[in-house]
Structure 1
Amino acid sequence: MKMSDPELSEVLRRYAPGDLAGLPKYARLRETLLRAIDDGYWKPLDRLPKEMALAENSPYSLGTVQKALRDLVQSGVVVRRQGHGTFVAQREGVMAGPRHLLFEDDAGEPLALFPRLVAQERDDGATVDWRRHLGESVREVVRLDRIFSVAHQFECCSRFYIDAMRYPVFASAQMQGFQTMNFKDILRREYNVVIERSSRTVRVTTLPQDVGAMLSAEPGITGAIIDFVTFAGDGQAVYYQQAFVPPNPYALRVESR
């Protein structure tokens, strides 16, 4: 949503809470933006003003603005798209047909997953070597980060890497509307690609610091990291995915497809 400076200043003034004087500055701005979103001023899929515009039209520094937005990303209220901006997230919905991560209660009943897309950005492979899984010929990859609320009992997350040139829908704004879908269903619907098999490795180790922060977990927490590489019928690797699961009391069934 493109706004003039006077209009943005008025919106920030109108939605600023008057009873949070004891909160840090970033929390005051976070609550201001959240109130505007909850009131419907910014609706799902709307783009928020740029960070610099928020800083210039409020009493907050750029660093404070960035911290407030990071907090909203982690809580699933907004999502960042690298090079495009920050957008209001879709409201919570149940994931349709989860296959990689199937949590079960004591009776063996599956638990509902409530996913939210918290990041969608290009990835150069500097941190995670996706080329080892997807192949050296892949030049441009998009990474999608999702946090899953498991029956509202605990949260886990995943990082999904896919060729952005071969499967451009995953790098598009459409993913905001697809965030509750199983990504395999998107591949089948958009590209007629059917996943025939996957390889999986599981290790129990300290979760990466940024993942722990995304899950609001204690620093240094130990959890399970599950790596998936999926393949189409022709043997071509389609995507690479990492799942990060903190300690929890539920059984996890990992399917091969």
Structure 2
Amino acid sequence: MSTAANTTDVFAVLARPDRSGAPKYMRLCSVLLQAITAGHWKAGDKLPTEEELAEMTPFSLGTVQRALRMLVDQGVVVRLHGLGSFVAENDLRMEDPWHCRFFADDGESFLPVYSKVVSRERVSGKGAWTRYFPDASEHLVLITRTINVNGEFDVLVRFYLDSRILPRLSKASLRSLDGLNFKTLIANELSVPITRITHDINVIKFDVATAQATGTKAGEAGLFMRAAAMMGATACVYYQEFSIPATSRVLSVPDQLPKMGHTSR
């Protein structure tokens, strides 16, 4: 746990003149979320009490309570009666794989998958990812990989991340990323829980590059799935695009909301 002095430093920005026009509780909510994301408070850590936060900040107890309620509603903070407020635990331990799951013949278990990283590069310009990372133009990284499903077909995956949030994925050797369960690394690296997963799926015609990567022909139709993992209301952990060839296999889309909770340490 951070020292009291360091905790006071977290709120120093709130003493400066503010010209944003944002409500006080929104400003406090933003500062708390930034501190959690930066690792000042980690999953399972207890936050200062409402009274302590009111003393550390220039805001009233009512403003503090409203900010904490907002973080609770977003799933970032959990309140335990008689114990206080805690940073919610990450709960990313789900059946592998998380997104690219296809049912086996029994209709219950999932087919094995094998991943290989093709490239990693910095991203410039605008695209579908801009919606999720509007302020990360200098820090956005794209990891392109292929996922082979049971030796039957290949899925092309484009994985976008902010290197400030997931530095290990942006720096690790490419060979070490082959076959890596990204969600396990993310669970170990994140200081804030994933609170929402979004999925959008439509049918597209593959371009030449996608066809080559998936072993299909340009112009053939396939599924295009977008998946974004969010922490809180607006902060994106990662955004992925899956190009899936036509297959008789049934794709399983995971639950939208990972289970959240506090575990004693």
Q: Deviation per CA, 1:154-194, whole angstroms, max 9, x where unpaired?
A: 11121000012332222213453133223222122123343
SS in structure 2 of the partner of residue 198 of structure 1: strand
CA contact (8 A) 1:134 1:238 kept: no
Indicate yes or no: 2:244 matched with 1:236: no
CA contact (8 A) 1:115 1:148 kept: yes
Shift of 1:106: 2.9
> What stretches of structure 1 of length at least 5 have no aligned partner?
1-95
CA contact (8 A) 2:123 2:141 kept: yes
Counterpart of 2:247 in structure 1 is 248
TM-score, normalised by the number of residues in structure 1: 0.58
Counterpart of 1:225 in structure 2 is 224
Distance 1:174 1:190, change over 3 A: farther
CA contact (8 A) 1:103 1:110 kept: yes
- Mapped partners of 1:102, 1:131: distance in 2: 26
Q: CA RMSD in A?
A: 2.0
SS in structure 2 of the partner of residue 187 of structure 1: helix
CA contact (8 A) 1:142 1:161 kept: yes
SS in structure 2 of the partner of residue 134 of structure 1: coil
Q: Deviation per CA, 1:80-115, whole angstroms, max 9, x where unpaired?
A: xxxxxxxxxxxxxxxx82111110123112100000
Q: Deviation per CA, 1:18-46, whole angstroms, max 9, x where unpaired?
A: xxxxxxxxxxxxxxxxxxxxxxxxxxxxx
Counterpart of 2:168 in structure 1 is 169
- Mapped partners of 2:202, 2:187: distance in 1: 30
Indicate yes or no: 2:205 matched with 1:199: no
Larger-gyration structure (1/2)? 2
- Mapped partners of 1:105, 1:157: distance in 2: 20
Structure 2 residue identity aligned to 1:118:
V
CA contact (8 A) 1:113 1:148 kept: yes
CA contact (8 A) 1:142 1:170 kept: no
CA contact (8 A) 1:209 1:219 kept: yes
Moved more, 211-220 or 236-245: 211-220
Counterpart of 1:124 in structure 2 is 124
Distance 1:169 1:99, change over 3 A: same
- Mapped partners of 1:155, 1:199: distance in 2: 23
Distance 1:185 1:192, change over 3 A: farther
Indicate yes or no: 2:182 matched with 1:183: yes
- Mapped partners of 1:116, 1:168: distance in 2: 20
TM-score, normalised by the number of residues in structure 2: 0.56
Counterpart of 1:213 in structure 2 is 212
- Mapped partners of 2:131, 2:143: distance in 1: 18
Q: Deviation per CA, 1:134-160, whole angstroms, max 9, x where unpaired?
A: 223553211011111101111112100
Structure 2 residue identity aligned to 1:178:
L
- Mapped partners of 2:114, 2:253: distance in 1: 18
Structure 2 residue identity aligned to 1:99:
W
SS in structure 2 of the partner of residue 130 of structure 1: helix
Counterpart of 1:101 in structure 2 is 100
> What stretches of structure 2 of length at least 5 have no aligned partner?
1-94, 259-265
- Mapped partners of 1:201, 1:249: distance in 2: 20
Structure 2 residue identity aligned to 1:114:
Y
Higher RCO, Cα 8 Å, sep 6+: 2
Counterpart of 1:79 in structure 2 is none
SS in structure 1 of the partner of residue 180 of structure 2: coil
- Mapped partners of 2:230, 2:165: distance in 1: 14
